[in-house]
Chain A
């Protein structure tokens, strides 16, 4: 394969070429070869850690309500209004009694707001390596997330180093990841840092795309951001009983501007708290009947996370935009086949 041509001929336009052309591009081929190595490494790592792989559901009466303005697609399911999965978080929790350590390679569909089309980090259709661990703490989940990223990176650099160097990646840039060196900061510290840099970060919300990029750019190693404020995430992220208003959750941010790879948390499993938290996020608990029935009967406490597969591959390959690492990219707001 002529990797030189792959990088020289293709600059990084803002939008994909016609699909046929995209599918024939050497750069996509390289990205897919890296992706299959990453997938194999992820499965190897998780199964080695005692996880069972399940295949996730695609539609259901409810899905992850998410946030940040992304919406679920409607499906007419025998006359019932169903949703395509934006994430299978509710099913992960419900599966824990039978599968205390489980993961999916889950396809998700989120109709993202159009302003995310230019972040280079959003696709409407994407996949997550979706992990859930019964009776685990946030720190347990972070250990698995870090171990997963380290293992996948190590594997890809061992198995197909020529693909990465062909795309211009420097092995030295991955030294900290491969050595398992991760930093941790709190959301509050991240906000303070951004404000000190003059970036108007909302202290009550997610770190915005620009802020996340700023923090990612000034770091040489991946880092966790802990303790997002209540209201910035879904109802299932557990509120810290010691610190009301603070969630026991985290993101894992890749260095060098690649941004968020992972979101995760300890989960709320208490029925009454779940109902109240649903109301706090404007949700109608009646929609979640099946899930709340499970919660009433007892869902194990857990922690888990989702690692964006395309984001992982983009980080490994160093490509500019997420559509370049998806065979069938759908950018927010762009009607594509």
Chain B
């Protein structure tokens, strides 16, 4: 799967430009001058086949830079030794976890893919089946019903007309072992118009789930890929006309472009609206669990505590690294708290906390669990895995992740994910050790405004000298909080037709390899820099 985001293909420049603007992000400005609003987004031609996420410039966040630090003395290992009457091994780590009211065999769940094309086709069905076999819960994203419909069409109910949502539910139910896992269904503002939760709650097909306590509804207030915005997908003309009544459809790719942008609203939330919506869900769907998903907002700690106090069975926080979703580039790279900071602001959870955002291997999972998450979600990683092997890709990916979890958790002298704690991690300078000084994990505290951002590093001094004209310019260092740590990373080339010429403050292409090399970089594969 090609993963490098690119800007939309540009019409040819009519004449050679006369001006140059050294030190200025000239090429993006020129791209916008040519393309207008289309330049705000990745290339719509890649829609449906590419998973979006932060570009290389923003990858490798504070969570990834923390190290997992086993102690020398391990009283909990002694407890396990006494329990087992033999030395514990890494296989003795019990990964069974309560996840939002469900029992999961691993501290994992399948994140929402939503109504985007990449997230609602066959891949999603394969991912559902494998998640069921793994005994982990699955979240089904918003806007599936208003976009794809609910019931099967036609008397025969052939595959071609089968509803995307029901196909996933059936695949999951066929493969799920008794007593483990569960299905979580989101509902957006537009879904509320279609009464998605009501449809499911009263559908006999969902009765087995309800009776075994394995259905949850997730109130979605936002997502990591575009905090503060609603869902966005790219639609062709026919779809646009069909959806125009339910959604806003905008011609951001140009009046003559074959595609348009379908926008859902994010919904308005206040503390009281959240509290009342949760109460309403619990009153109306008493047999379903109640989950809430937040974007990584600056008041995430306050929001999470409000949700738990209102009875939410789980609070999901989607780090800014998260999201399979289509989003404006400026949101992918520059908006929202990184997962580490979101977890820091939440502090010690007073309920089940779930975290997503760039998780694909055991290390990042352990770090998120140590910072308070009860389980972590797999989004892009799961889609890429089933794209690699539709039958068993996700199972193998998770098998590897689970082995790493057992190795890491046992190395910390612990034998259950819930035993992980913040002191299992160490943050290298310049990121302050969050456990030095006043303990931010001492307990839930009332929200007292934004914490100082420990990730805001001094601006990287740009190398002197003019940038070559028309080079695919890296964004100015000042817009990248982590620029100091990513001197070799590069913002995506706004116009991929341009030859990649290194900017002065970048290493030459031959000096580095992999994600940090200029040119095609797996910037939005499983979101972790190598």
- Which of the residues B201, B204, B277 comes within 8 Å of A282, measured between beta carbons? B277
Question: At the interface, yes or no: A138 with Cβ under 8 Å from chain B?
Answer: no
- The residue of chain B having its C-beta at the shortest distance from the C-beta of A113 within the complex is B202
Contacts of A25 in B (CB 8 A): none
Identify which of residues 210-253 in chain A touch chain B, using a CB-to-CB cut-off of 8 Å.
229-232
Contacts of B192 in A (CB 8 A): 282-284
Report whether A204 and B273 are in contact in the complex, using a CB–CB cutoff of 8 Å.
no
CA distance A282 to B280 in the complex (A): 8
- The residue of chain B having its C-beta at the shortest distance from the C-beta of A287 within the complex is B193
Question: At the interface, yes or no: B281 with Cβ under 8 Å from chain A?
Answer: yes
Question: At the interface, yes or no: B189 with Cβ under 8 Å from chain A?
Answer: yes
Knowing A113-B202, A279-B273, A280-B272 are in contact, say whether A71-B195 is a contact too (CB < 8 A): yes
Knowing A114-B204, A280-B272, A287-B193 are in contact, say whether A69-B277 is a contact too (CB < 8 A): no
Report whether B195 and A72 are in contact in the complex, using a CB–CB cutoff of 8 Å.
yes
Question: At the interface, yes or no: A36 with Cβ under 8 Å from chain B?
Answer: no
Looking at A111, A202, A231, the one whose CB has the most chain B CB atoms below 10 A away is A231
CA distance A219 to B273 in the complex (A): 37
Task: Give the interface size bracket for A toward B.
Answer: 20 to 34
Question: At the interface, yes or no: B298 with Cβ under 8 Å from chain A?
Answer: no
- Which of the residues A70, A71, A204 comes within 8 Å of B283, measured between beta carbons? A204
Report whether A281 and B276 are in contact in the complex, using a CB–CB cutoff of 8 Å.
yes
Contacts of B286 in A (CB 8 A): 202, 205
- The residue of chain B having its C-beta at the shortest distance from the C-beta of A68 within the complex is B284
Report whether A232 and B195 are in contact in the complex, using a CB–CB cutoff of 8 Å.
no
Identify which of residues 257-278 in chain B touch chain A, using a CB-to-CB cut-off of 8 Å.
267-269, 272-273, 276-277
Report whether B198 and A204 are in contact in the complex, using a CB–CB cutoff of 8 Å.
no
Contacts of B219 in A (CB 8 A): 282
Identify which of residues 61-89 in chain A touch chain B, using a CB-to-CB cut-off of 8 Å.
67-72, 81
Knowing A231-B276, A287-B193 are in contact, say whether A282-B202 is a contact too (CB < 8 A): no
Contacts of B419 in A (CB 8 A): none
CA distance A111 to B277 in the complex (A): 21
Identify which of residues 172-214 in chain B touch chain A, using a CB-to-CB cut-off of 8 Å.
187, 189-190, 192-193, 195, 198-199, 201-202, 204, 207
Contacts of A266 in B (CB 8 A): none
- Which of the residues B193, B198, B204 comes within 8 Å of A69, measured between beta carbons? B198
Report whether A69 and B190 are in contact in the complex, using a CB–CB cutoff of 8 Å.
no
Contacts of B133 in A (CB 8 A): none
Report whether B202 and A114 are in contact in the complex, using a CB–CB cutoff of 8 Å.
yes
Report whether B277 and A281 are in contact in the complex, using a CB–CB cutoff of 8 Å.
yes
Knowing A284-B190, A287-B193 are in contact, say whether A232-B199 is a contact too (CB < 8 A): no
Knowing A280-B276, A284-B189 are in contact, say whether A67-B199 is a contact too (CB < 8 A): no
Task: Give the interface size bracket for B toward A.
Answer: 20 to 34
Contacts of B77 in A (CB 8 A): none
CA distance A276 to B271 in the complex (A): 12
Knowing A71-B195, A287-B193 are in contact, say whether A280-B202 is a contact too (CB < 8 A): no
Chain A proximity of B421: nearest CB distance (Å): 34
Question: At the interface, yes or no: A206 with Cβ under 8 Å from chain B?
Answer: yes
Report whether A71 and B198 are in contact in the complex, using a CB–CB cutoff of 8 Å.
yes
CA distance A282 to B268 in the complex (A): 10
Chain B proximity of A271: nearest CB distance (Å): 15
CA distance A101 to B189 in the complex (A): 35
Chain A proximity of B201: nearest CB distance (Å): 5
Question: Contact string, B201-242, partner A, CB cutoff 8 A, digits 1/0?
Answer: 110100100000000000100000000000000000000000
CA distance A64 to B332 in the complex (A): 40
Report whether A284 and B193 are in contact in the complex, using a CB–CB cutoff of 8 Å.
yes
CA distance A72 to B198 in the complex (A): 9
Contacts of B272 in A (CB 8 A): 276, 280
Question: At the interface, yes or no: B285 with Cβ under 8 Å from chain A?
Answer: yes
Contacts of A113 in B (CB 8 A): 201-202
Q: Other than the known A230-B279, A281-B276, what 8 A-B pairs have Cβ atoms closer than 8 Å?
A: A69-B284, A205-B286, A229-B279, A231-B280, A232-B279, A276-B273, A279-B269, A281-B280
A: which residues have CB within 8 A of B? 67-72, 81, 111, 113-114, 202, 204-206, 229-232, 276, 279-284, 287, 333
Q: What are 20 inter-chain pairs, A to B, with CB distance below 8 A? A: A67-B280, A69-B284, A69-B285, A71-B195, A114-B202, A204-B282, A205-B283, A205-B286, A229-B279, A231-B283, A232-B283, A276-B272, A279-B268, A280-B273, A280-B280, A281-B276, A281-B277, A282-B277, A284-B192, A333-B204
